[in-house]
C-alpha cells in the first residue's frame, strides 16, 4: 500500500494551521475539531454516530495497522466529518482484516490528513478548547489561506445543534432477546451503537429500536417493560422534544436507563441544566468514581457536554421527580458522570458501558438495569 504525496492542511478557527499530507478522500471537510485518546479501537471510533459533525484527532501516533473488518463497526457507516492522524500504517497486519483504513476512508468519502504533529494539535485544543476547523486536501490545499479560514469560521458551531435526525434510524426494528425474555424494551435511537443493542438483548430484552421522532404514544404502544435512551451527537440543550418525551416516560413510572446523550437528557428531564465542556472527554481510559461503592472504573467516553448537578449531596429534582444523586464522577475534572433518581426507577451514566472499544469495567450497568426492571415487575405483579 502506498500513500499519495498530495498536500493537505488542517485549519482551526483561531487561525492555527498544520500542513501535512492527504489521507483518505480528497477535498474539503468542516466540523468541530476534537481529540480522542484511545490507543486502539479506531474502527469503533469512526463508526460511532456520536462523532457526527466532528473532525477527530487521534492522539495515538500509529493508526491503521490492523486494517478494517466487517465485524467491528458500531453502525452502518463512518460518521466522523474528518480524520487526523500522525503516522498511517503502510501495512495491514491482522488476520481479521478485510481491507485497509485508507481505502475505507476513500470509499466513505471521509477527508483526512496525516503527517502532522497530533500532539501539538491536542495541546492546542486542550488549552484553547474544541473549536471549528477544516481539512483542505488535494487541490483544495492550495486555496488562499484567508479563504480557508473564512470557510472554517462560517461553519456551524456544535453548541445549539440538534443532530439526532441525522443519525437515528428512520424506521423501527426489533432485535430479539438472546437469553430468557423479560419483555419489550423501547430504545430511542439517538445514535445508538451496535454493541449496546447486543448487550441489552443478551440481558433478555426484546429490543425495539425506535426513531428519534417517535411520540410517547408510539413508545407506550409496544407495551415496554422499560425505556432506554442511547448515546448520540449534538447539544442536549437543543433537544427539547426528547426531554418532553422522557418527562412523559418518567411520569408513567417506567424503568429508565440512559447513556451519554441519554444521561444528559435525563439530567434535563429531572430539571438540571447542561453545559459545554472545554474540550470534552473522548477515549477509552477515563477514570470514574462510583460514589456508592468507592470503586474506580476505567471507562470509555465520547461527549462534549455535561450535566450541571450538585456533587456529594442528595438533592430534590427541580422538575418534581423526588430525590436525585450524582452516582458517578470523573476523577480528572470532577464532571458529573452519572445520575440516579431515588424515588423513581431511573438512572444514567455519561460514559459508554458497552466499551466498544475500551475496558469492560462498567458492563455491570446492564445487569443493574435488568435487575431494576425485574424488581419493578415484581412490585407490580
**CATH code: domain of residue 18:** 3.50.30.20
The alpha carbon torsion through 368, 373, 375, 381 (nearest 10 deg) reads -170
d(CA 111, CA 109): 6
Mean pLDDT by 10 residues, the chain (381 residues): 80 97 97 91 93 96 93 94 96 93 96 97 96 97 96 96 96 97 98 96 98 98 98 97 98 98 98 96 92 94 96 96 98 97 98 84 94 86 55
Please tell me whether residues 187 and 140 are part of one structural domain.
no
pLDDT at residue 1, rounded to an integer: 53
Query: What is the domain extent for residue 88?
Result: 7-153
In a domain, 121, yes or no: yes
Report the distance separating Cα 114 and Cα 10, nearest Å.
10
CB 317 within 8 A of CB 307: no
Residues 237 and 128 grouped into a single domain = no
**Whether 112 and 204 share a structural domain:** no
Helix axis angle for 194-202 and 364-379, nearest 10°, is: 50
- The pair phi, psi for residue 98, each rounded to 5°, is -105, -10
371 in a domain, yes or no? yes
In a domain, 1, yes or no: no
In 3D, which of 261, 238, 224 has the Cα closest to residue 376?
A: 224
**2 in any annotated domain:** no
Strands 111-114 and 17-24: antiparallel
Contact indicator for 249, 209 with CB cutoff of 8 Å: no
Are residues 200 and 244 both part of a single domain? yes
Instruction: From 95, 127, 153, give the residue that closes a domain.
Output: 153
> Do residues 250 and 327 both lie within one domain?
yes
Quote the CA–CA distance of 285 and 130 in Å, as a whole number: 19
In a domain, 159, yes or no: no
What local confidence, expressed as pLDDT, does residue 89 receive?
92
pLDDT score of 248? 98
301 in a structural domain: yes
Please indicate, yes or no, whether residues 60 and 184 belong to a single structural domain of this protein. no
69 part of a folded domain: yes
Q: Are residues 358 and 298 in the same domain?
A: yes
pTM: 0.95
Last residue of a domain, one of 94, 125, 153: 153
Distance CA 258, CA 42 (A): 24
Residue 137 lies in a domain: yes
Q: Catalytic residue positions?
A: 260, 352, 354
Please give the grid coordinates belonging to residue 173.
426494528
CATH number of domain containing 210? 3.40.50.880
Q: Give burial (CB, 10 Å; 0-12/13-18/19+) of 142.
A: exposed
Beta strands in the chain (DSSP E): 7-12, 17-24, 28-36, 54-58, 62-63, 82-84, 87-88, 111-114, 131-137, 173-175, 183-188, 205-210, 226-229, 256-259, 273-290, 296-308, 315-316, 323-330, 336-341, 346-349
Are both 137 and 12 inside the same structural domain?
yes
| Grid cell for residue 258 | 440512559
| Count: domains in the chain | 2
Are 292 and 372 found together in one domain?
Answer: yes
Q: Cα(129)–Cα(279) distance, rounded to whole angstroms?
A: 5
One domain for residues 261 and 343: yes
Cα–Cα distance for residue pair 355/51, rounded to 1 Å: 16
Burial class (CB in 10 A: 0-12, 13-18, 19+), 25: buried
Residues 67 and 195 in one domain: no
Q: Which of 103, 128, 153 is the last residue of a domain?
A: 153
Residue 5: all three cell numbers together: 504525496
Q: Are residues 136 and 179 in the same domain?
A: no
Amino acid at each position: 500500500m502506498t500513500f499519495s504525496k498530495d498536500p493537505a492542511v488542517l485549519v482551526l478557527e483561531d487561525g492555527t494551521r498544520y500542513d501535512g499530507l492527504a489521507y483518505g478522500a480528497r477535498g474539503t471537510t468542516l466540523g468541530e475539531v476534537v481529540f480522542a485518546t484511545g490507543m486502539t479501537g479506531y474502527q469503533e471510533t469512526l463508526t460511532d454516530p456520536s462523532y457526527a459533525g466532528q473532525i477527530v484527532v487521534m492522539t495515538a501516533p500509529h493508526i491503521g495497522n490492523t486494517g478494517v473488518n466487517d465485524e467491528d463497526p458500531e453502525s452502518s457507516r463512518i460518521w466522523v466529518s474528518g480524520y487526523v492522524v500522525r503516522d498511517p500504517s503502510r501495512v495491514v497486519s491482522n488476520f481479521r482484516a478485510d481491507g485497509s483504513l485508507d481505502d475505507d476512508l476513500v470509499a466513505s468519502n471521509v477527508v483526512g490528513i496525516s503527517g502532522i504533529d497530533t500532539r501539538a494539535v491536542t495541546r492546542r485544543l486542550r488549552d484553547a478548547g474544541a473549536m471549528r476547523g477544516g481539512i483542505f486536501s488535494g487541490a483544495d490545499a492550495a486555496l488562499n489561506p484567508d479563504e480557508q479560514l473564512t470557510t472554517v469560521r462560517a461553519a456551524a458551531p456544535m453548541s445549539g445543534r440538534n443532530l439526532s435526525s441525522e443519525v437515528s434510524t428512520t424506521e423501527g426494528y426489533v432485535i430479539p432477546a438472546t437469553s430468557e425474555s423479560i419483555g419489550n424494551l423501547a430504545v430511542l435511537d439517538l445514535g445508538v451503537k451496535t454493541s449496546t443493542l447486543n448487550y441489552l438483548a443478551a440481558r433478555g430484552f426484546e429490543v425495539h429500536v425506535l426513531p428519534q421522532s417517535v411520540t410517547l404514544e408510539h413508545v407506550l404502544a409496544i407495551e415496554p417493560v422499560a425505556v432506554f435512551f442511547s448515546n448520540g451527537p449534538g447539544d442536549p440543550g437543543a433537544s427539547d422534544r426528547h426531554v418532553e418525551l422522557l418527562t412523559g416516560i418518567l411520569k408513567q413510572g417506567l424503568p429508565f436507563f440512559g447513556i451519554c446523550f441519554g444521561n444528559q437528557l435525563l439530567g434535563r428531564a429531572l430539571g438540571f441544566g447542561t453545559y459545554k465542556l472545554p474540550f470534552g472527554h473522548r477515549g477509552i481510559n477515563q477514570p470514574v468514581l462510583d460514589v456508592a461503592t468507592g470503586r474506580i472504573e476505567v471507562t470509555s467516553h465520547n461527549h462534549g457536554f455535561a450535566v450541571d448537578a450538585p456533587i456529594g449531596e442528595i438533592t430534590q429534582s427541580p422538575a418534581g421527580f423526588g430525590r436525585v444523586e450524582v452516582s458517578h464522577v470523573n476523577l480528572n475534572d470532577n464532571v458529573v458522570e452519572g445520575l440516579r433518581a431515588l424515588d423513581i426507577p431511573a438512572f444514567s451514566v455519561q460514559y459508554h458501558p458497552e466499551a466498544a472499544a475500551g475496558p469492560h469495567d462498567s458492563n455491570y450497568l446492564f445487569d443493574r438495569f435488568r435487575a431494576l426492571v425485574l424488581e419493578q415487575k415484581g412490585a407490580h405483579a
